[in-house]
Structure 1
Amino acid sequence: MSHRAGLLSAAAAAAARVNLLLLLLAVLFSCSSLSDGVPEFALTKIEEGDIKDESGKEPLPEDDADPEDLEVFYPTHQWQTIRPGQAVPAGSHVRLNLQTGEREAKLPESEDGRSETREERRRKRLGKVDVDANSFTSQELKKALAKMKESEKAERKAREEEVRKKFRPIEQLKEEFEKLNVKMETDYEIMVQLISKFNSSASTLADKVAALYDLEYYVHQVDNAKDFLSMGGLQLVIEGLNSTEATLKEHAAFVLGAALSSNPKVQIEALEGGALQKLLVILATEQPLPVKKKALFALSSMLRHFPYAQQQFLKLGGLQVLRSLFRQKGMQTLHVRVVTLLYDLIMEKLLLEGSPQEEQAAEKLHQYEQVRLVPAVVEQDWCAAVSALLGAPEHDTREKALKTVSVLMAFCGERYRRDPALGTALSLLRSEYEQLAAQEQSEGDTDGYFSELLGSVNTVIQQLR
Structure 2
Amino acid sequence: YSRNATDCSILATILLALASSTALAESVNEVSVDAQGPKDCSHMFIPTTDWKVIHPDECIPAGLHIRINFDTGLKEAKLKNPNDDAVDANAAVAIVHQGEDGELKVTNPNEAKPEEKQSLLAEGLGVDDLVHHLTWLEEEVSDIDEGANLMEDSWLRARLVGLLSSHEDAGVRSHAARVFAGAVSNNFNAQRAAVAEVDGILAAVNNETNFQVRKSLAHAVASLVRGNKVAARVFWRHNGFKALKHLYDVSKVDRRVQNKVKELVNDLFDVDMLAEGSEVDEEGLVLMKEGGFCDGSVSDEGITSLCTKAAEVASRKTEL
TM-score, normalized by length of structure 1?
A: 0.39
| Equivalent of residue 245 in structure 1, options 164, 169, 175 | 169
Give, as a single letter, the amino acid of the residue that structure 2 aligns with 1:384. Answer: G
Q: Which residue of 1 aligns with 2:185?
A: 261
Give, as a single letter, the amino acid of the residue that structure 1 aligns with 2:198. Answer: L
Q: Deviations over 1:70-122 (max 9, x none)?
A: xxxxxxxxxxxxxxxxxxxxxxxxxxxxxxxxxxxxxxxxxxxxxxxxxxxxx
Q: Which residue of 1 aligns with 2:285?
A: 374
Q: Cα distance, 1:243 vs. partner?
A: 2.1
Q: Cα distance, 1:223 vs. partner?
A: 1.2
Distance 1:381 1:205 in 2: 37
Q: Cα distance, 1:198 vs. partner?
A: 2.5
Whether 1:304 aligns to 2:208 is no
Secondary structure in 2 aligned to 1:382? coil
| Highest RCO, 1 vs 2 (Cα 8 Å, sep ≥ 6) | 2
Give, as a single letter, the amino acid of the residue that structure 1 aligns with 2:71. Answer: V
Secondary structure in 1 aligned to 2:297? helix
Distance 1:256 1:354 in 2: 33
Q: Deviations over 1:21-75 (max 9, x none)?
A: xxxxxxxxxxxxxxxxxxxxxxxxxxxxxxxxxxxxxxxxxxxxxxxxxxxxxxx
Judged with a 3 Å threshold, the aligned counterparts in structure 2 of structure 1 residues 191 and 350 are, in CA distance, closer, same or farther, namely farther
Whether 1:350 aligns to 2:274 is no
Distance 1:206 1:327 in 2: 32
Q: Which residue of 2 aligns with 1:34?
A: none
Q: Which residue of 1 aligns with 2:260?
A: 337
Q: Which residue of 2 aligns with 1:319?
A: 241
Q: Deviations over 1:132-178 (max 9, x none)?
A: xxxxxxxxxxxxxxxxxxxxxxxxxxxxxxxxxxxxxxxxxxxx89x
Q: Paired residues, what number? A: 209
Q: Cα distance, 1:344 vs. partner?
A: 0.7
Secondary structure in 1 aligned to 2:268? helix
- Asked if 1 retains the 8 angstrom alpha-carbon contact of 2:109 and 2:117, the reply is no
Give, as a single letter, the amino acid of the residue that structure 2 aligns with 1:374. Answer: L
Q: Which residue of 1 aligns with 2:315?
A: none
Rg larger in structure: 1
Output aligned runs, 1:54-203, within 5 Å: 181-182=70-71, 188-189=110-111, 195-199=118-122, 201=124, 203=125
Whether 1:222 aligns to 2:144 is yes
Distance 2:180 2:235 in 1: 17
Whether 1:279 aligns to 2:240 is no
Give, as a single letter, the amino acid of the residue that structure 1 aligns with 2:306. Answer: L
Q: Cα distance, 1:284 vs. partner?
A: 1.4
Give, as a single letter, the amino acid of the residue that structure 2 aligns with 1:305. Answer: G
Judged with a 3 Å threshold, the aligned counterparts in structure 2 of structure 1 residues 351 and 258 are, in CA distance, closer, same or farther, namely farther
Give, as a single letter, the amino acid of the residue that structure 1 aligns with 2:185. Answer: S
Whether 1:411 aligns to 2:300 is no
Q: Cα distance, 1:370 vs. partner?
A: 6.4
Distance 1:180 1:206 in 2: 22
Which structure shows the higher strand fraction?
2
Percent identity between matched residues is 20
Judged with a 3 Å threshold, the aligned counterparts in structure 2 of structure 1 residues 214 and 194 are, in CA distance, closer, same or farther, namely farther
Q: Deviations over 1:251-288 (max 9, x none)?
A: 1111111111122222122222xx21122112212420
Output aligned runs, 1:198-213, within 5 Å: 198-199=121-122, 201=124, 203-213=125-135
Aligned-residue CA RMSD in angstroms? 3.7
Give, as a single letter, the amino acid of the residue that structure 2 aligns with 1:263. Answer: N
- Asked if 1 retains the 8 angstrom alpha-carbon contact of 2:214 and 2:247, the reply is no
Distance 1:382 1:218 in 2: 40
Unaligned runs of 5+ in 2: 1-8, 11-67, 73-91, 93-106, 313-320
Secondary structure in 2 aligned to 1:182? coil
Secondary structure in 2 aligned to 1:287? coil
TM-score, normalized by length of structure 2?
A: 0.54
Q: Which residue of 2 aligns with 1:451?
A: none
Distance 2:236 2:161 in 1: 21
Judged with a 3 Å threshold, the aligned counterparts in structure 2 of structure 1 residues 199 and 344 are, in CA distance, closer, same or farther, namely same
Q: Cα distance, 1:293 vs. partner?
A: 1.1
- Asked if 1 retains the 8 angstrom alpha-carbon contact of 2:274 and 2:281, the reply is no
Which structure shows the higher helix fraction?
1
Give, as a single letter, the amino acid of the residue that structure 1 aligns with 2:287. Answer: A
- Asked if 1 retains the 8 angstrom alpha-carbon contact of 2:215 and 2:257, the reply is yes
- Asked if 2 retains the 8 angstrom alpha-carbon contact of 1:225 and 1:259, the reply is yes
Secondary structure in 1 aligned to 2:189? helix
